[in-house]
Amino acid sequence: MNETRLIKLKGLINEINDINMAAAVLGWDQETYMPAGGINDRADQLSTLSKISHEKFTSKEIGDLIGELKTEITNINDETDDVRLIKLLDKIYSKSIKVPSSLVSEMSKAASLGQQAWAEAKKSSDFSKFKPGLKKIVELKKEYAKIFLPYDSIYDPLLDDFEPGLKTADIKAIFDELKPQQVALIRKISEKDEIDNSFLFKEYDETKQWSIGEKAITSFGYDWTRGRQDKSTHPFSTNFGIDDVRITTRVMKNYLPAALFGSMHESGHAMYEQGINRSLRRTPLARGASLAIHESQSRLWENIVGRSKAFWKYFYRELQNTFPENLSDVSLETFYKGINKVKPSLIRVEADEATYNLHVMLRLEIEIALMQGAIHAADLPEIWNSKMEDYLGIKPQKDSDGVLQDIHWSMGAIGYFPTYALGNLVSAQLWECALRDITDLELQIEKGEFSMLLNWLRKNIHSHGSKFEPQELVEKVTGSKINPSAYTGYLNKKYSEVYGL
């Protein structure tokens, strides 16, 4: 491989990465500290940076370098960093060059304005404030998707942005297998006595909530020298490089799990980014393999570890000592069952493991129908409420608990939601393998020892960044592609114990 060409290409890619990271800092600030009045200036700034980045990346110079290097890697080990970088750049370039810079700029601006409109609409529970922005975002996403004709589904190009290599038909097939098994489990649980988790809804000091969440994720291995936590309307993680990976959470005064499990969830995302091999920094390889793989990390730490009995054997005394007024007379067993209570709920991020994926399936149906033109943005509150009733048997009384609860559409992230459910499936597949390789893993967790688990994830998942497509990576580690069997097995085992099924 021509070393001079490779060095030249990497130099150009590093510069583009720096522009994207600068835009990410502005995006993080918009969600955390930016005054509301700064939105128009911020939208213009992000629009300009996204346009510059796109134009630089789709330049003829980069295209020629990728093309020349592509012809030279035929007989080189397919798993080397450089070969994988060229292959990934070739795919991204081939897709990006079809998209006009003007559309990239317009989508970026619509997303910035959309996020601000969504935040205001959610605060007042008034969908009408978000409707014009959402309509614009959907129109632009349709325009974007049609650039990639022909396809089997207009949703395919959007899904590929978040889950490379998967098609809409693949997702539907996985969900068609998963849904009846989850519904059957929920029905069994519904026949049992309802678990009392009222102690979770008492008044909890917000400063102490923040502190106990930080203690939990510090024990997991979140590196505070390369990260921080702030408040936002909707929890998220972001990074500006391997050594600057930040998370946010939200604190609810009368609901303990929101901040605590929110921090655990986001730390899972962040520890993934902190664990990427340094040799990949400032390139497109220095990010997660996909959103499903990313979500597998956050759900593993939040649920499989964070809601396990083993973890609370270690951490419950710390929590009781922090909130003795609420938890001193709540036993470990009662607490464990309380945080794992199954009950259909309005809010996705607060949903239990048994019903969570139904929230995702509902959103997938809406997104596909929006893109196909079968439904329109203006009709979403009514459609949302109807589907919530069909899927979960409950109906939101206000938009903030329904169609306005998630930030994703305001960001233009249509195609994102399926990755949440896929992440659940992958988390269980990985957990099975970790238990096989670390035979005393649950005992380690009971003692508050997480380093072997984190190192196992570093070796098998984190260090690779996006060298491998998601299905390829999952198969390398687990021996099979993404499938529901490990997850449904995990759920049935766990909830048989919790509910005595």
Q: How far apart are CA 427 and CA 421, in angstroms?
A: 10
One pLDDT digit (tens) per residue for the chain, 501 residues: 789 999 999 999 999 999 999 999 999 999 899 998 999 999 999 999 999 999 999 999 999 999 999 999 877 778 899 999 999 999 999 999 999 999 999 999 999 999 999 999 999 999 999 999 999 999 999 999 999 999 999 999 999 999 998 999 999 999 999 999 999 999 999 999 999 999 999 999 999 999 999 999 999 999 999 999 999 888 999 999 999 999 999 999 999 999 999 999 999 999 999 999 999 999 999 999 999 999 999 999 999 999 999 999 999 999 999 999 999 999 999 999 999 999 999 999 889 999 999 999 999 999 999 999 999 999 999 999 999 999 999 999 999 999 999 999 999 999 999 999 999 999 999 999 999 999 999 999 999 999 999 999 999 999 999 999 999 999 999 999 999 999 999 999 999 999 999
CA-based nearest residue to 252, from 262, 242, 243: 262
> Per CATH, which fold does 168-499 belong to?
Neurolysin; domain 3 (1.10.1370)
Grouping H, G, I as helix, E, B as strand and the rest as coil, residue 238 is: strand
Task: Out of 266, 273, 353, 367, pick the active-site residue.
Answer: 266
Q: How far apart are CA 240 and CA 90, in angstroms?
A: 23
Q: What is the pTM of this model?
A: 0.91
Annotate 171-230 with three-state secondary structure: HHHHHHHHHHHHHHHHHHHHCCCCCCCHHHHCCCCHHHHHHHHHHHHHHHCCCHHHCCEE
Token readout for 432 is 């099975």
Residue 484, preceding peptide bond in cis (omega within 30° of 0): no
- Could you confirm whether 266 is annotated as catalytic? yes
User: In 10 A of CB 32, how many CB atoms?
Assistant: 15
